[in-house]
Amino acid sequence: MVEGCDAMRGVLKLFVVVVLVTLITFFSGCGRSQDVFYYQGILFEGFDPMKHQPSKEFGKYVRLEKVILSPKQVKSLKRCVDLLKERNLLFLLEYADRFVVANSPYSFADKPQMIIYLDKEKVTLGFSIGDDWKNKLLNSNLNLMENSGRFSFKGTPDLPNLLRIILHETGHLVEYDKLKFNWKGKFVDNVLNKDFVNISWDRKQHWKDKEGFSEKLQSIYSVDALVAFLLWFQEESSFFSLSSSMGMNEDFAEAFVYYFLSKEFNYTIDFILDDSVVINNLQKTNSFREKKFKFISEIIEEGGYK
């Protein structure tokens, strides 16, 4: 009889645990994978080769396999939407027709289709904008890998890089639609984009950047040289990030990102060396950056986005 009671108590305990787990999962919304969902009116989809056909310039890089969004990925996307909504920036997400999560080596804006494709591996809250700065720095200059444990980049507030990616790709849609940037082949300036591109790019030198940014970045061979480069970047560069100099399109998209991060999130990023802040606010305002912010501000106001 005692053994029977013990067994019954064991069954009841197990039942209670199962019920609690089920309830927690149900109310948290974290227990269900999805291939499509709407959140705050924004459409997110997992890539489906029967449904999505990216433009041929991008499609060759996308693995033609169906993507199911995990609970963590859904949570990550919703968090980014919430961050923008809290600052009345939800209108930015409405610029894209939809967001599609795909197995791709990078995220991209399919400009002709006005669809943003997000690299599945980047849909996470566990990788910050500061982490992305360090990752891009090391990818640009392998000489720094040996001392990479000594330095890092810290953003305030700490924001997920997924938010930056979403803003960056939205910026590409804006420059394509409003500024008519040529998105393939040779760059052609026009009356809509010339005031922006002339800030950092030299038409007489076949649109080479005026700063020799990539050459400076790739010629760093020591931590001391890195500090010197970042001090120069802070004070004199017209760019907002280490990837801005890859082209006019990237320049605009990154300026677009940091316009909203700076204005609406009061975001700054610092350089940390040996656990101490060595350089505060790497994107400190200068005359060149002010011109880019002014240009973007006018686009937002004239376009009636808000």
Q: How many CB atoms lie under 10 A from the CB of residue 63?
A: 13
- Residue appearing with tokens 């940037």: 181
Cα dihedral sign, 55-60-63-65: positive
- Quick one: pLDDT at residue 57? 87
pLDDT digits (tens, 9 = 90+) for 237-247: 999 999 999 99
Between helices 129-140 and 161-178, what is the axis angle to 10°?
A: 70
Rg for the chain (alpha carbons), in Å? Answer: 23
Cα–Cα distance for residue pair 151/144, rounded to 1 Å: 10
Cα–Cα distance for residue pair 71/128, rounded to 1 Å: 19
pTM of the complete model: 0.88
- Quick one: pLDDT at residue 190? 84
- 7-16 long-range contacts, CB within 8 A, separation 24+: none
- Residue appearing with tokens 């979403």: 166
Across 235-248, b (16+ Cβ under 10 Å) vs e yields: eebbbbbbbbbbbb
Where are the alpha helices (H) located in 108-244, listed in sequence order? 129-140, 161-178, 194-200, 213-218, 223-236
Measured CA angle at 211 (ends 152, 280), to 5 deg: 30
User: Does the pLDDT of residue 297 top 80, yes or no?
Assistant: yes
Q: For residue 19, which amino acid is it?
A: V
Average pLDDT for 295-303 = 88
Q: Which residues share a beta bridge with 279?
A: 271
User: Does the pLDDT of residue 22 top 80, yes or no?
Assistant: no
Cα dihedral sign, 46-50-52-54: positive
Cα–Cα distance for residue pair 213/209, rounded to 1 Å: 7
User: Does the pLDDT of residue 25 top 50, yes or no?
Assistant: no
pLDDT digits (tens, 9 = 90+) for 63-78: 999 999 999 999 999 9
Label residue 13 by pLDDT band (50, 70, 90): low
- Quick one: pLDDT at residue 211? 96
Looking at the chain, the whole-number percentage of residues with pLDDT higher than 90 is: 76
- Quick one: pLDDT at residue 44? 98
Label residue 27 by pLDDT band (50, 70, 90): very low
Cα–Cα distance for residue pair 124/236, rounded to 1 Å: 33
Average pLDDT for 191-217 = 92
Instruction: DSSP letter for 146, please.
Output: G
Residue (of 219, 236, 27, 196) closest to 142 by Cα position: 219
